[in-house]
Amino acid sequence: MASSTGAPISAGAAAEEEEAVASAVTVTANPHADLGEIMPSLPTAPGFPPYRMRRYGGFWHIDMYLKFICASHACFRPRPTDVLLASFPKTGTTWLKALAFSALNRAAHPPSHAGADHPLHRNSPHDLVRFLELADQDGDGLIYEEVPSPRLLATHVPYSLLPHSITGTDDGSGGRIMYVCRDPKDTFVSFWHYHEKTTATLQQMADVGGASEAMPTFEEAFELFCEGQSAEGPQWRHTLEYWEASCRSPDKVLFLRYEDLLLDPPGSLRKIAAFMACPFSPEEEAAGVVRDIVELCSLGTLKGLEVNRRGSTMLGLKNDAFFRNGTVGDWSNCMTPAMAARLDGIVAEALEGSTLTFGASCKDSV
């Protein structure tokens, strides 16, 4: 791990930084108010994707995310009916957006009419459920105030850096959070293939930085990922924060696994709908609404839609970049056994003492 001068960041310095951020959270309403001022002085390092990363709060970020953290703490106004879909990048975000949107809006947009005019036939899931990070941070400060309730929003920001108005309430006024995780090995491989397709486009953005950085080799990218030097990384710490929040407040934070979604899409969809306070009625079950939503939101269906084969979405990215094979265990086609063992070891060491495990939920010990 390197600083802006290229020198390694010591464990002691990292701990001091994290302690300072944690201390600030307890003292001020907006602990990140001066983030815009201190951004240029934050430790930087090359990362994967190949953009300039800045270290803050124990995680690595691109400038766009840091600006959002600062703005959202000052401006974002949560509603009790909000549902925030949280995830580390490339862990099932697109699928979760499609499932949650379709379940929440099934009365207005019946999935059985999908062939006629369902929004998913005309829009990417990323257009239907927008990222908080992509809000107009230089506007009037009313981040997504125009979105009608109940709002579905999304984020890749770590739990500890979310607005306190979301995480610091126990009365439900901050809304609910759904988090989806995925095995880090498959996450990295998905990350790699995605950024092969999108890096050239994203590097044109000033808030990403690193336009002169070349795409690393697979092995170089793997080393950076293992060091935690990826956007919002390290993944295992990102996931652990949401896991611990779900253990503390299961009614407020629903923890999902990508592997479980694949194993049992109907059961996972029922869990998602119930958490959003719109459970399926017996009449809907009998009419096959769950089945219809699962089919509408399946990878095969979404991948084959015209809008996802030829259209573009946020930041000018092509929709087809968000769809590949979506399987479990694809890492074995790209990583050597030694690479897999190394990443597994890093994750196991980082999670030692916690109850979090990656993979299907049958492995849980809680």
Residue 159 placed within a domain? yes
Q: Quote the pLDDT of residue 96.
A: 96
Instruction: Look at 16 and 170; give whichever has higher pLDDT.
Output: 170
Residue 352 placed within a domain? yes
Mean pLDDT of 40-46: 91
| Average pLDDT score, the chain | 82
Residue 3 placed within a domain? no
Peptide bond before residue 150 is cis, with ω within 30 degrees of 0? yes
Instruction: Look at 194 and 27; give whichever has higher pLDDT.
Output: 194
pLDDT beyond 50 at 155: yes
* Residue numbers of the domain that contains 250: 78-363
pTM over 0.75? The answer is: yes
In the block, which residue shows the tokens 């880090």? 184
Q: Is 73 a catalytic residue?
A: no
Residue 126 placed within a domain? yes
pLDDT beyond 50 at 352: yes
pLDDT tens column, 177-190: 999 999 999 999 98
pLDDT beyond 60 at 36: yes
Instruction: Look at 173 and 170; give whichever has higher pLDDT.
Output: 173
Please give the Cα distance from 319 to 123 (Å, whole number): 9
pLDDT beyond 50 at 270: yes
Return phi, psi of residue 83, to 5°.
-125, 120
Mean pLDDT of 267-290: 97
Instruction: Look at 366 and 127; give whichever has higher pLDDT.
Output: 127
pLDDT tens column, 196-222: 666 666 666 545 555 446 778 899 999
pLDDT tens column, 227-241: 999 989 999 999 999
Residue 8 placed within a domain? no
Q: Quote the pLDDT of residue 208.
A: 58
Instruction: Look at 53 and 273; give whichever has higher pLDDT.
Output: 273
pLDDT beyond 50 at 15: no
Residue 300: CB partners within 8 Å, gap ≥ 6?
none
**For residue 76, which of 115, 32, 120, 125 has the smallest C-alpha distance?**
32
Please give the Cα distance from 184 to 277 (Å, whole number): 31
Q: Which of 54-58, 172-176, 180-184, 329-333 has the lowest mean pLDDT?
A: 329-333
How many structural domains compose the chain?
1
Residue 314 placed within a domain? yes
Please give the Cα distance from 358 to 187 (Å, whole number): 11
Q: Which of 32, 121, 156, 195 is catalytic?
A: 156
Greatest Cα-to-Cα distance within the chain, rounded to the nearest angstrom? 63
Return phi, psi of residue 84, to 5°.
-105, 120
- pLDDT category, 359, cuts 50, 70, 90? confident
Please give the Cα distance from 248 to 268 (Å, whole number): 21
Please give the Cα distance from 211 to 46 (Å, whole number): 12
Q: Which amino acid is at 259?
A: E
Mean pLDDT of 141-146: 75
Residue 68 placed within a domain? no
Residue 343 placed within a domain? yes
pLDDT beyond 90 at 107: yes
Kindly report the CATH number assigned to the domain that includes residue 219: 3.40.50.300
- pLDDT category, 329, cuts 50, 70, 90? confident
Instruction: Look at 6 and 154; give whichever has higher pLDDT.
Output: 154
pLDDT beyond 80 at 31: no
- pLDDT category, 317, cuts 50, 70, 90? low
Q: Quote the pLDDT of residue 116.
A: 62
Q: Quote the pLDDT of residue 300.
A: 85
Residues β-bridged to residue 110: none
**Residues making up the chain, counted from first to last:** 366
Return phi, psi of residue 112, to 5°.
-70, -15
Q: Quote the pLDDT of residue 140.
A: 54
